[in-house]
Amino acid sequence: MKTDVLIPKEKTQAAPSEKPEKKKETPMEFISSMAAVLVTGLFIITFNIQAFEIPSSSMENTLLIGDHVFVDRITVAPPTHSAPFEHYRKIQHGDIVVFLSPQTPGLYVVKRVIGVPGDRLHLRNGVVYRNDEPLNEPYVIHKVGDYNPYRDNFPAVPAMQASAQVSPEWPVQVGVLKQGEDLVVPPDSYFGMGDNRDESYDSRYWGFIPRENIIGRPLFVYWSFETPADQWQKTEMSERIHFLGHVALHFFDETRWRRMFHLVH
């Protein structure tokens, strides 16, 4: 990190009206200034920002497999009295959030918030209706383009038609919270869906996103690399080392340079 330092020109003859020369910064003052900058940067990286890699295609084309994003952990976090200077706001419709999976401990998931507490939701032929109004969702793609009764007409079609993808407890919760053809989002919960609607394993299958599970919002892509769809499943050390070698060898020709600093929204 560089610091702009003004270098004074050589003194000639000072005019009577010239202001006195400012006192030069001592080495100790310079070190103190740099330490303050480093501590601030470390605080931001440790508490405000976290890096994640996108492993699946469920958020295409908003987020691609191999996108590396910085996630803001503060804006949508629950407010705390220990850091009143931070900026907080409520989670809103359309927010993309990273959260801990309610099903799989330790697994981070990214989805778009479609429903907030109190919303009434249902899908009809793939179109999302929120509080009786169809949503205009220009970010949505239907990559497969087929028809799935459960997926595209949720929650009207019984979960038994969705095969083993549905969480065992979810149909019971749907039955309790369903009003007419709508599912009502309960307090401190959110309904999330992927932008790649035909291939997204989301709230339609496993339920609501608990408020306490939400980590933050992706801000921008800081690096993107062409990555196989199944790479996240390769957990053996030899497989990881092989892929790291591939990245080193093809860093320049397989980096998606056009996505560098791409804002996520």
* Helix ranges, 59-169 (H): 149-152
pLDDT at residue number 160: 73
DSSP, res 196? B
**For the chain, domain boundaries:** 51-263
Q: Mean pLDDT across the chain, nearest whole number?
A: 85
pLDDT at residue number 32: 61
- Summarize the confidence of residues 45-71 as an average pLDDT: 90
- Total Cβ atoms within 10 A of residue 127: 14
Q: Are 60 and 143 in contact (CB under 8 A)?
A: yes
pLDDT band (50, 70, 90) for residue 5: very low
pLDDT at residue number 8: 36
- Summarize the confidence of residues 233-261 as an average pLDDT: 95
- Taking alpha carbons only, the member of 82, 110, 86, 103 closest to residue 214 is 110
pLDDT at residue number 33: 59
- Summarize the confidence of residues 58-79 as an average pLDDT: 90
pTM higher than the cut 0.85: no
pLDDT band (50, 70, 90) for residue 74: confident
Residues 145-194 pLDDT 10s: 899 999 999 999 887 766 678 988 999 999 999 999 999 999 999 999 99
DSSP string of the chain? -----PPPPPP----TTPPPPPPPPPHHHHHHHHHHHHHHHHHIIIIIEEEEE--SSTTTTTS-TTEEEEEESSTTSPP-TT-TTS------TT-EEEEE-SSSTT-EEEEEEEE-TT-EEEEETTEEEETTEE---TT-B-SS----HHHHSTTTS-GGGGGGGS-TTHHHHHHHHEETTEEEPPTTEEEEE-SBGGG---HHHH--EEGGGEEEEEEEEEEEB---TTGGG--SHHHHHHHHHHHHHSHHHHB-GGGTTEEP-
Tell me how far apart the alpha carbons of residues 44 and 92 are, in angstroms, rounded to a whole number: 24
High-pLDDT (> 90) share of the chain, %: 67
Superfamily holding 51-263: Umud Fragment, subunit A (2.10.109.10)
Residue 218: asked if its preceding bond is cis (omega within 30°), the reply is no
pLDDT at residue number 96: 97
Tell me how far apart the alpha carbons of residues 21 and 23 are, in angstroms, rounded to a whole number: 6
Say if residue 7's pLDDT is above 50: no
- Total Cβ atoms within 10 A of residue 123: 23
